[in-house]
């Protein structure tokens, strides 16, 4: 193409671009307003999630059962922990099997509380439980999420919901120290108290033992003074006869007292053990020169004691005279 043709083409394009005088300028094309608003509303949640990575969420739905798992925070220091919240919604009654996390290298997962079920509108229920996951190494750690098996609406078969694993950033940075959390400098700690002296314990023990010995000694002295020396058999029998003379001969108490007096005098007079022995056994212990009247008196006391055959006034006086005769013999 020669220079003349190029000049002619340029002139034609210039003529096409010129507009007649008085014609309004052409308007630029614009996008429709309503589609732009719809697109902005759809992209806003995604932009907010991308701008705030404080939590990670996974959701799944199957046969009317909706499950959500929320992991927060998305970035945690090595000394911290993340909270995993598992939530299931479905028709009532809603039963969820115990949630078990799969083996997760780098994590230690434990329940942070018991599962809670709450009613919702339209005959639905919500089941929720929280878990605590503690990392044991830094880096981008994958945290596998558990599969959830639930029975909604009283169905016999369970619905299983699975969730894609999340990746949590574990850093080695320390938590930021705030000025308000600072504490005043305290003084030196006091030394631990000195151990108690064993000498004081020994002195206390010796004092207690000495006090106990003194108390026993004083008790024995008082007891010896109160008891006094044993009287002679004749003196003892005289005192008992004075007491027996005041009793009613026909009463059982009088017969028992007479038998006890006779046995007590025999034991003291002949130095034999009368307690726990029958009359026949006691008589065999007496010497050959013992009066024969002891047999009649002791057997009559046994009759009054075991057969409840009381003494008549004449028999009572005769028994007391027999005992007085023994006093006269030994007096």
- What is the SS3 assignment for 194? coil
Rounded-to-integer distance, Cα 274 and Cα 267, Å: 6
Domain membership of residue 11 (yes or no) is no
Q: Is the pLDDT of residue 34 over 60?
A: no
Domain membership of residue 228 (yes or no) is no
CB atoms within 10 A of CB 139: 14
Domain membership of residue 311 (yes or no) is yes
List beta partners, residue 132: 83, 110
Which run of H or E residues covers position 118?
strand 116-119
Q: Read off the CATH number of the domain in which 167 is found.
A: 2.60.40
Q: Predicted confidence band at 37 (pLDDT cuts at 50, 70, 90)? A: low
Looking at the structure, tell me whether residues 166 and 237 fall in a common domain: no
- What number is the average pLDDT over the span 179-194? 67
**Domain end point (choices 156, 171, 186):** 171
Looking at the structure, tell me whether residues 239 and 321 fall in a common domain: yes
- pLDDT tens-digit map of 44-72: 444 443 444 578 999 999 988 999 999 99
- pLDDT tens-digit map of 251-261: 888 888 888 88
- pLDDT tens-digit map of 257-314: 888 888 888 888 888 887 878 888 877 887 877 777 778 788 888 887 777 777 888 8
Looking at the structure, tell me whether residues 238 and 165 fall in a common domain: no
Q: Are 59 and 108 in contact (CB under 8 A)?
A: no
Domain membership of residue 149 (yes or no) is yes
Domain membership of residue 253 (yes or no) is yes
248: left (phi over 0), alpha (psi -120 to 50) or beta: beta
Rounded-to-integer distance, Cα 129 and Cα 185, Å: 43
- What number is the average pLDDT over the span 164-193? 73
Q: Would you state the pLDDT for residue 323?
A: 80
Q: Would you state the pLDDT for residue 287?
A: 80
Query: Between the CA atoms of 130, 136, 140 and 141, what dihedral angle is there, to the nearest 10 degrees?
Result: -50
Q: Are 55 and 73 in contact (CB under 8 A)?
A: yes
Domain membership of residue 24 (yes or no) is no
pTM (two decimals): 0.40
Query: Between the CA atoms of 273, 275, 277 and 279, what dihedral angle is there, to the nearest 10 degrees?
Result: 90
Which positions ≥6 away from 286 have C-beta within 8 Å? 266, 270, 272, 294
Looking at the structure, tell me whether residues 162 and 63 fall in a common domain: yes
**Domain end point (choices 155, 171, 187):** 171
How many separate domains does the chain show?
Answer: 2
Rounded-to-integer distance, Cα 297 and Cα 315, Å: 10
Q: Predicted confidence band at 130 (pLDDT cuts at 50, 70, 90)? A: very high
Q: Predicted confidence band at 120 (pLDDT cuts at 50, 70, 90)? A: very high
Domain membership of residue 40 (yes or no) is no
Host domain of residue 289: 233-330
Percent of the chain with pLDDT strictly greater than 90? 25
Q: Predicted confidence band at 28 (pLDDT cuts at 50, 70, 90)? A: low
Q: Are 170 and 135 in contact (CB under 8 A)?
A: yes
**Domain end point (choices 138, 155, 171):** 171
Q: Predicted confidence band at 23 (pLDDT cuts at 50, 70, 90)? A: low
Rounded-to-integer distance, Cα 14 and Cα 275, Å: 157
Q: Would you state the pLDDT for residue 90?
A: 92
Q: Is the pLDDT of residue 116 over 70?
A: yes
Domain membership of residue 199 (yes or no) is no
Q: Which of 85-99, 214-228, 229-243 has the weakest average pLDDT? A: 214-228
Mean pLDDT of the chain: 78
- pLDDT tens-digit map of 307-318: 777 788 888 888
Q: Would you state the pLDDT for residue 170?
A: 92
CB atoms within 10 A of CB 92: 16
Q: Which of 30-39, 164-173, 187-196 has the weakest average pLDDT? A: 30-39
Q: Using only the alpha carbons of the chain, give its radius of gyration.
A: 58
Query: Between the CA atoms of 175, 179, 180 and 186, what dihedral angle is there, to the nearest 10 degrees?
Result: 100
């Amino acid at each position: 193409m020669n220079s003349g043709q190029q000049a002619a083409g340029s002139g034609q394009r210039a003529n096409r671009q010129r507009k007649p005088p008085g014609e309004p300028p052409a308007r630029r094309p614009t996008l429709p307003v309503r589609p732009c608003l719809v697109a902005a509303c759809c992209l806003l949640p995604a932009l907010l999630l991308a701008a705030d990575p404080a939590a990670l969420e996974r959701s799944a739905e199957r046969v009317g059962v909706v499950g959500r798992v929320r992991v927060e925070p998305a970035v945690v220091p090595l000394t911290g922990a993340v909270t995993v919240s598992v939530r299931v919604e479905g028709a009532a009654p809603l039963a969820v099997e115990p949630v078990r996390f799969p083996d997760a290298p780098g994590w230690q997962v434990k329940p942070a509380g018991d599962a809670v079920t709450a009613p919702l509108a339209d005959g639905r229920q919500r089941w929720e439980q929280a878990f605590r996951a503690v990392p044991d190494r830094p880096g981008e750690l994958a945290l596998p999420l558990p599969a959830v098996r639930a029975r909604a609406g009283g169905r016999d078969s369970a619905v299983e919901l699975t969730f894609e694993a999340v990746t949590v950033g574990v850093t080695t940075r320390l938590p930021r120290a705030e000025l308000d959390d600072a504490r005043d400098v305290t003084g030196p700690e006091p030394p631990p108290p000195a151990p108690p002296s064993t000498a004081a314990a020994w002195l206390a023990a010796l004092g207690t033992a000495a006090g106990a010995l003194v108390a026993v000694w004083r008790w024995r002295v008082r007891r010896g003074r109160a008891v006094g020396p044993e009287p002679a058999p004749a003196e003892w029998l005289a005192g008992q006869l004075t007491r027996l003379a005041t009793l009613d001969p026909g009463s059982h108490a009088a017969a028992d007292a007479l038998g006890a007096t006779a046995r007590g005098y025999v034991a003291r007079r002949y130095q034999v053990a009368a307690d726990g022995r029958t009359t026949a056994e006691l008589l065999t212990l007496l010497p050959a020169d013992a009066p024969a009247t002891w047999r009649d008196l002791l057997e009559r006391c046994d009759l009054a004691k075991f057969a409840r055959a009381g003494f008549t006034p004449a028999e009572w006086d005769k028994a007391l005279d027999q005992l007085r005769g023994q006093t006269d013999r030994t007096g």
